[in-house]
Chains A and B, each alone.
Chain A
């Protein structure tokens, strides 16, 4: 009898300890800045009684997708990966080939808005826990604005006159990282949502207009005319140069994303940063912000610690994860209900995401970047550099876009 009781107690202890110890979970990402997030998630999960060890590894963004493809096919991938959003050729292929597993019935996704879940859903199943939302626009140095008596512009012309006043005062109005073509595409796309407006982008997507519309050419022209307010030699500058110049108050404004805020504050804690959406052409139009889901945490077919991976995903779908994530990265968490940092700029970015996000876009998250030639890779990236260098005209950039996308996108194909 005594032996039986001891055996029962031992079995109970073993079961209890097994339920708590979920072992090591490996996560791969392209975001180096998230290492501390996962250290704190591990601590928080352990505090909840889930004995997990999270092994986080980050890779260069440019090599990340190839690494994931190769690793998952050869069975050497991690339990969880940061996956790109949908629609997107790469993620769709991974899902179609069952290299990402559905988590629909495994994780409670009720803390996410429908828009975020749409970016990770494929044929009715959810393929990841969304982690961050990005807001892009113009970030400006409030002290410089205050010193010159400037206010946030309500129209494009007011933005130009602010730039003129800043230039006249001897400061660089805009710092542009022109060496990195993706940043110029982002600049075009964030300006487009306000200048062209979501209705025009919807018309474009549905083929009621095309890139040869004078409105699109006028947008190209507006951006090209703005280059007199950029730093000299801007086509040779990188985003690292931009971070340093903006943080150390060498330039008054940058066209960038909220993810840059963390770096600027690290470089200069006293920097006083403000944000505004790209102003529309006229005062009677509403401004819009380009916002997008950065990605999701997906479970792979290579998962070795399934139970541990599901526990981590469950935690990532809770507001607590959002609190940790936002506190460390100053990025907007995709999960709702998180305690957000008490920071004016951060609150403004969240407000923008919730109230002024453009429902239609033509860059990341749009159909125009899912095939080749892509509006992102093959048109606007080289095209904006060529426009700024004076090698092509605004009209030619429009023609480039139309010629490229009409090769494969039926609504824009000429009859």
Chain B
């Protein structure tokens, strides 16, 4: 408990306290009360904050839909014992083992507008008209980052959903097929309802992770989250505010801490819901 308090509770309270101060990272802290919150919720900063916030929302919606949707489809394919299922399962999980920094470096090369693998591939298959400067187009950059994130993490969701599917007693499938159910009905009437609690848990976790996203954006478009903040999320906004982006501009750890308090306020209800559902599930078991 002491160790837990030191690792989790202390930094949390420390951030809350820091959000009430002005502090450039060194030297004396100046108590400013709620001024930092007034700054982030008013004026020019407000625009930046909500620009980043809505990017987090978009990240959550698209990322969750793709990871859970594709994860479910692939898990069903693997559960139906197709040939090469084991190899495919391993293949989907491999990107998960690559460090984010390397994923970022690799995909920046793949997405290079002139010589990148993605545009070269599109040109080779006759779809050259679809070639784009993926990370340089403000309309596409965040979506591109989400796709790279899905590429990296999909294997994890496939494994979790597959485990939930394999947990369903075989008798249920046998009875359904004897009663004349087709594959579609089995998926929607048996598999989906019986794995729903897994989806619910994963969706809550994805919500929390989506609002804490930083590394993938940082690795692909950097701390400036360009082009012109079109990939900015609360994590990158916090980093620029607390630690500085470029040049010699003043930084403010206190203002940065107030952004983390905002993130915490968004994520906290989801965390409570997650804990509540997990406990209820445990009691049910």
Q: What CA separation (Å) do A377 and B251 show in the bound complex?
A: 11
Q: What CA separation (Å) do A298 and B61 show in the bound complex?
A: 48
Known: A90-B251, A96-B27, A241-B112. A236 touches B135 (CB 8 A): yes
**A233–B138 touching, CB < 8 Å:** no
CB contact between B228 and one of A185, A363, A391 (< 8 Å): that residue = A391
Known: A66-B25, A99-B26. A232 touches B113 (CB 8 A): yes
Q: CB-CB contacts of A265-294 with B at 8 A, as 1s and 0s? A: 000000000000000000000000000000
**A236–B27 touching, CB < 8 Å:** no
Interface: A40 (CB within 8 A):
no
Write the chain B residue with the least CB distance to A72: B26
Q: What CA separation (Å) do A371 and B222 show in the bound complex?
A: 21
Known: A232-B114, A382-B224. A93 touches B249 (CB 8 A): no
Q: CB-CB contacts of A20-61 with B at 8 A, as 1s and 0s? A: 000000000000000000000000000000000000000000
Q: Which chain B residues border A237 with CB–CB below 8 Å?
A: 112-114, 133, 136
Known: A241-B112, A373-B44, A404-B44. A84 touches B26 (CB 8 A): no
Give A181 Cβ to nearest chain B Cβ, in Å.
4
Q: Which chain B residues border A93 with CB–CB below 8 Å?
A: 24-27
Q: CB-CB contacts of A365-378 with B at 8 A, as 1s and 0s? A: 00001111110111
**A364–B228 touching, CB < 8 Å:** no
**B25–A179 touching, CB < 8 Å:** no
Cβ contacts A to B, 13 pairs, < 8 Å:
A179-B222, A185-B246, A233-B114, A235-B133, A236-B134, A364-B248, A369-B247, A369-B249, A372-B249, A373-B44, A381-B224, A385-B226, A385-B227
Give B10 Cβ to nearest chain A Cβ, in Å.
16
Q: Which chain A residues border B26 with CB–CB below 8 Å?
A: 69, 72-73, 93-94, 97, 99
**A377–B136 touching, CB < 8 Å:** no
Using a Cβ cutoff of 8 Å, how many contacts connect chains A and B? 143
Q: Which chain B residues border A383 with CB–CB below 8 Å?
A: 228
Interface: A88 (CB within 8 A):
yes
**A97–B221 touching, CB < 8 Å:** no
**A233–B249 touching, CB < 8 Å:** no
**B25–A69 touching, CB < 8 Å:** yes
Give B248 Cβ to nearest chain A Cβ, in Å.
3
Known: A66-B25, A97-B27, A232-B113. A376 touches B226 (CB 8 A): no
Which B residues between 120 and 136 are near A, CB-CB below 8 angstroms? 132-136
Interface: A308 (CB within 8 A):
no
Give A386 Cβ to nearest chain B Cβ, in Å.
4
Q: Which chain B residues border A182 with CB–CB below 8 Å?
A: 224, 246-247
Interface: B155 (CB within 8 A):
no
